[in-house]
Amino acid sequence: MVVVLQAAIAGFSLEVMSSVRAYVAGEALWSRSQKNAVYFLNLYLHSGEASQFTQYQASLAVPIGDEFARWALERDPVDVEAARIGLLQGGNHPDDVPGLIWLYRYFGHVSFLQDAIREWAATDPMLLELSIFGEVIRSELENGPIQDDGRLAFLSSRLSELNAQFTVHANRFSTVLGEGSRAIKVTLTCINIVTAATLILLLIWHTRQLVLQRQAFENALCAEKERLAWQASHDSLTGLSNRRAFEARLQSELDNAAAGALGLILLDLDQFKSVNDSCGHLAGDRLLREVSRLLQQNRHEHDLVARLGGDEFGLILPQCSPFDAVDIAEQLRRSLELLSFAWDDRCFAVTASIGVTCIADRNITLEDAMRRADAACYRAKEMGRNRVQVESKSSGAVAAAPRLREAARA
């Protein structure tokens, strides 16, 4: 709890200080833009150049955007999106905008921020007057330079007065923010020191218990790593290897060029969907477990049986000749055909379409090997299911297993 409290206080402290810093930076932009607006409007008054009026408008848009944001935050309910747009128009960095809004909404009643907002709001009439001045001056200059020296002096003098008033409020705003930020820094530093000291004391008190628990934790961690490693490479329903482990093992076998012939079998249950649809997924799960146990019977230690997904299984048979691979596939087909699966007094025939490919040349990719076996399996389904189909690399076609054996005997 103390660690969480310390982290929360530290995060809160950083957020507050960051938000206050953003207000200080925003005040600098706000103050400078107001002065620039007066400066460019005064230049425009004497020169009549349109570019200077454009610069005046761009400068004035900054404090107007900040003013718009403040109004949005004072509404009930608060219009956060309008406030965000206004602060962005005010030249504030996008990353600072959420902090500016957060500090205003939840800490606007704090004395130093309240005083700063008061100084900020006091410039609203001046901004309005400066906006009106700009339009008045532009309308008067549309007919050429102002010839009345008295009128020119009056406008220029009023602009100077506005600039002085802006400066007074900007200085007060900056001073209040500075004092507040220093007070906040001292307060938050003290709170952090107290919570850190409390944390250190508690850590010392718990050292002995932590040392005693370390071994138990390490043992549990090792067990968890083993469990997670098993889960990452095995199917939770059947306990067989999953597709990821299957493909990793197949790639390893393909990389071992001196390992001899490699048999690859893909097996897809026929009409498995009918079991699920008629008896439910519990029946389907039980059938998959029974098929998994059957596939693992009489396997060599270096063989790998995997559930690739759904009702699809795969076998990797290292150092297995083509004819042995075909015989194994045919044995599996017969065993599944003889398997009697019953559920709720209903019996189902279990058959499979089996594709076999034999790899002698290890210079093929994993994708090619899987594609060849998958093509054979698909062909077995296409030719009526409940059969073994062998992919023949030499002819580039797929042949039925019995015909392959007959051709070999001939």
Taking the C-alpha atoms of residue 240 and residue 288, their distance in angstroms, rounded to an integer, is 11
The answer for residues whose C-beta is within 8 angstroms of residue 286's C-beta and 6 or more apart is 343
Question: How much is the pLDDT for 393?
Answer: 53
Taking the C-alpha atoms of residue 289 and residue 311, their distance in angstroms, rounded to an integer, is 11
Q: Which two tokens stand for residue 30?
A: 């706000």
Question: How much is the pLDDT for 315?
Answer: 96
Mean pLDDT of 401-406: 44
Mean pLDDT of 25-36: 84
Taking the C-alpha atoms of residue 228 and residue 232, their distance in angstroms, rounded to an integer, is 6
Of residues 151 and 368, the one with the higher pLDDT is 368
Taking the C-alpha atoms of residue 52 and residue 57, their distance in angstroms, rounded to an integer, is 9
What pLDDT digit, counting tens, does each position of 114-155 carry? 888 888 888 888 888 888 888 888 888 887 777 777 888 888
275, pLDDT greater than 70: yes
Task: List the chain domain ranges.
Answer: 2-202, 243-409
The answer for residues whose C-beta is within 8 angstroms of residue 96's C-beta and 6 or more apart is 18, 19, 22, 25, 26
Taking the C-alpha atoms of residue 354 and residue 401, their distance in angstroms, rounded to an integer, is 10
394, pLDDT greater than 50: no
Range from 162-166, 198-202, 326-330, 359-363 that averages highest in pLDDT: 326-330
Taking the C-alpha atoms of residue 301 and residue 316, their distance in angstroms, rounded to an integer, is 11
- Residues 132, 140 contacting (CB under 8 angstroms): no
Mean pLDDT of 352-379: 91
Give the burial class of 363: count Cβ atoms within 10 A of its Cβ; 0-12 exposed, 13-18 middle, 19 or more buried. Answer: exposed
175, pLDDT greater than 90: no
Q: Where are the beta strands (DSSP E) in 171-290?
A: 262-269
Question: How much is the pLDDT for 141?
Answer: 84
Q: How confident is the model at residue 8 (pLDDT cuts 50, 70, 90)?
A: confident
Mean pLDDT of 273-299: 91
- Residues 313, 267 contacting (CB under 8 angstroms): yes
Q: How confident is the model at residue 4 (pLDDT cuts 50, 70, 90)?
A: confident
- Residues 389, 401 contacting (CB under 8 angstroms): yes
What is the pLDDT of the chain when averaged over all its residues?
85
Classify domain 243-409 at the CATH class level.
alpha beta
Mean pLDDT of 70-97: 89
Query: How many residues in total does the chain contain?
Result: 410
Mean pLDDT of 162-183: 81
Which range (135-139, 179-183, 376-380) has the least confidence?
Answer: 179-183
Query: According to DSSP H, which parts of 50-148 are helical?
Result: 50-74, 80-89, 97-107, 111-121, 124-141
Question: What type of residue sits at position 24?
Answer: V
What pLDDT digit, counting tens, does each position of 230-273 carry? 889 999 999 999 999 999 999 998 888 677 789 999 999 987 88
Q: How confident is the model at residue 370 (pLDDT cuts 50, 70, 90)?
A: very high
Question: What type of residue sits at position 295?
Answer: L
Q: How confident is the model at residue 82 (pLDDT cuts 50, 70, 90)?
A: very high
Q: Are strands 387-392 and 352-359 parallel, antiparallel or unpaired?
A: parallel
278, pLDDT greater than 50: yes
% of the chain with per-residue pLDDT over 70: 95
Question: How much is the pLDDT for 129?
Answer: 86
Taking the C-alpha atoms of residue 67 and residue 37, their distance in angstroms, rounded to an integer, is 15
> In what order do the strands lie in the sheet containing 312-318?
304-309, 312-318, 262-269, 352-359, 387-392, 397-400
What pLDDT digit, counting tens, does each position of 44-67 carry? 888 888 898 899 899 989 889 988
346, pLDDT greater than 90: no
404, pLDDT greater than 70: no
Q: How confident is the model at residue 30 (pLDDT cuts 50, 70, 90)?
A: confident
Question: How much is the pLDDT for 392?
Answer: 62
